[in-house]
């Protein structure tokens, strides 16, 4: 009985450490984020709205992608680094408190997908630090 309790305590401790562990994703790409911010400021002055950037991969940037309603791509708006550390996309919004945009970064590490939102604008609830959004280590199967 004591051995079973000891094993349960060890399993519980391991589970708690997994659930509370901080992802080791490295430093945020500050120069890249700063470039996005600078480009957004210029674009907003010219157009009165922020631009939208479709998803860029962390290995090969889809630099010429653009939403159907926007003429400019990532390449037209800023210099995109050859390699970026996280998948990145930018979404503009216009809400009751004003206009803004959010920078969404995504990274998979060890089979776990993490997401981070950086808000620039009045809707501060959009901002959150890295959090787990998907655990790809757990796979459902229909075969025995």
Rounded CA-CA distance 134/82 in Å is: 27
pLDDT for position 97: 95
78 dihedral zone (left: phi>0; alpha: psi -120 to 50; beta): beta
H or E element that contains 115: strand 112-120
CB-CB contact of 58 with 84 (8 Å): yes
Per-residue pLDDT, averaged over 9-27, amounts to: 53
Read off the pTM: 0.74
Instruction: List pLDDT tens digits, range 104-139.
Output: 999 999 899 999 999 999 999 999 999 999 988 876
Instruction: List pLDDT tens digits, range 32-82.
Output: 899 999 999 999 999 999 999 999 986 665 888 889 999 999 989 998 888
Return the structure tokens found at 64.
Answer: 């010429």
pLDDT at 28 over 90: no
Alpha helices in the chain, H assignment, sequence order: 2-20, 30-47, 74-77
CB-CB contact of 65 with 54 (8 Å): yes
Return the structure tokens found at 131.
Answer: 């959090």
């Amino acid at each position: 009985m004591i051995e079973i309790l000891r094993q349960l305590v060890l399993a519980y401790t391991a589970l708690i450490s997994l659930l509370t562990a901080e992802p080791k994703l490295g430093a945020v790409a500050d120069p890249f984020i700063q470039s996005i911010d600078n480009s957004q400021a210029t674009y907003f002055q010219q157009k009165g709205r922020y631009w939208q950037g479709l998803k860029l991969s962390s290995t090969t940037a889809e630099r010429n992608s653009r939403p159907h309603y926007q003429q400019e791509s990532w390449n037209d708006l800023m210099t995109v680094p050859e390699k970026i550390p996280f998948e990145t996309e930018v979404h503009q919004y216009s809400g009751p408190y004003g206009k803004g945009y959010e920078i969404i970064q995504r990274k998979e590490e060890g089979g776990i997908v993490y997401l981070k939102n950086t808000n620039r604008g009045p809707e501060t609830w959009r901002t959150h630090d890295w959090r787990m959004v998907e655990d790809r280590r757990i796979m459902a199967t229909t075969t025995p």
